Amino acid sequence: MFEWSETDVMIRDAVRGFIDKEIRPNLDALDSGELPPYPVIRKLFREFGIDVMGGEAVQKMLAKQEAREAAVAAGEPKPEKKASGSSPFAGQESLMAVLIGELSGVCMGLVTAMGVSIGLGATTIMSRGTLAQKQRWLEDIVTMRKVASWAITEPDSGSDAFGGMKTYVKRDGEDYLLNGQKTFITNGPFADVMIVYAKLDDGAGGDKRERKVLTFVLDKGMPGLTQGKPFKKMGLHSSPTGELFFDNVRVGRDRLLGETEEHKGGDGRDSARSSFTAERIGVAFMALGIINECHRLCLEYAKSRKLWGQEIGRFQLVQLKLAKMEIARINVQNMVFNTLERGRAGKPPTLAEASAMKLYASEAATEVAMEAVQLFGGNGYMTEYHVEQLARDAKSLMIYAGSNEIQVTHIAKGLLAQ
């Protein structure tokens, strides 16, 4: 794949029409927090049939799983499990790539709010949950009827997500009691459903860093659960981020993903690592959106802005900025296209490769956005010119989904393990 297909281009143009009609006029309200992102996302899903597509995919998947489990219960041999997509939108990767790219160039907070809810929340339940758990939560999240958050980060853990984790659960009869705190949680202030990672304190002592990590699903309003107010941030203002607090939250085994402490796919660490890969690939898709929009805006400005009687695009230093933007655009777009092709071939990137993509793409997007501000000069520093917001949002990509410093470690570990 070296360019978008005709279908992709048609979808892209339709998405741009929606953006011009529904998002650009509301950018100030979204950026101030006056307008939450969720009504806009739901309207987008309705207009493009994404909610119906996702709902039907979930129903089809659950029906197949229910039939398999019924056959096994009736004594038939357990069928060999076939590889399947870990996303409810498996097979629609080009659609989602176009959607993410176009939205990111205008209001990246919409993408993070949607991406965490579906790309992390729904897919974690899909990959780890029992049939009953999928039936309970999955369709509502995939259709955006409910918003999900994915809570792993804590005030004292950051990149040391597992070792520094202090949120814990203790067994209490047939239930668990959950205590602790999570921070920097996308959708946290308004989430209806929360995927929460916690250490198991079984009273056996030993190294706390090595304790088993369990994954639970919580619902808004549970006793002992508090959702903090949205943080004030440098960028991504349209994506609410906050804290979650747990004070003896009683969770039954039906809320433990897989309903067992001995999950065949490993403990919560393995679940989270799989999500890290998808999240970091998503950063490259978002970075491409930022780069494309900066590229477009700078070309327009270089052709229209005049100094000393000529267009600034005639000045060699301005041309150098434009040339570097074009190089970044080509490189990141090639990464995205390569990822799409590998996914279709059943060979998705490894965690190390996803980390490499994330590291390069986020740095490229941030550099392009800052150069866009510089090219616009004083105008670029003003909020009425969109490059100011793009620069603020782009910087988050170097921290989001694991800081770029930790990506270096993951890349090196992957290389040294070969």
User: Which residue numbers are catalytic?
Assistant: 279
CA 105 – CA 387 distance, rounded (Å):
10
- 246-273: burial string, b at 16+ Cβ within 10 Å, e else: beebebeeebbbbeeeebeeebbeebbe
**Phi, psi torsion values for 177, nearest 5 degrees:** -115, 125
- Give the C-alpha distances (Å, rounded to integers) separating 210 from 178, 198, 267, 271: 18, 12, 11, 16
CA 223 – CA 248 distance, rounded (Å):
8
CA 199 – CA 210 distance, rounded (Å):
9
- 300-317: burial string, b at 16+ Cβ within 10 Å, e else: ebbeeeeeeeeebbeeee
- Of 169, 172, 171, give the one whose Cα is nearest residue 180: 169
Query: Where would I find the beta strands (DSSP E) of 222-331?
Result: 225-227, 241-252, 306-307, 310-311
CA 344 – CA 19 distance, rounded (Å):
28
Residue length of the chain: 418
8 A C-beta contact, residue 105 and residue 295? no
**54 CB burial (10 A radius; 0-12, 13-18, 19+):** buried
CA 402 – CA 358 distance, rounded (Å):
9
8 A C-beta contact, residue 321 and residue 298? yes
Radius of gyration of the chain from its Cα atoms, rounded to whole angstroms: 22
CA 26 – CA 23 distance, rounded (Å):
5
CA 339 – CA 335 distance, rounded (Å):
6
What residues does 225 pair with on adjacent strands?
246
- Of 297, 383, 293, 378, give the one whose Cα is nearest residue 329: 293
CA 299 – CA 172 distance, rounded (Å):
63
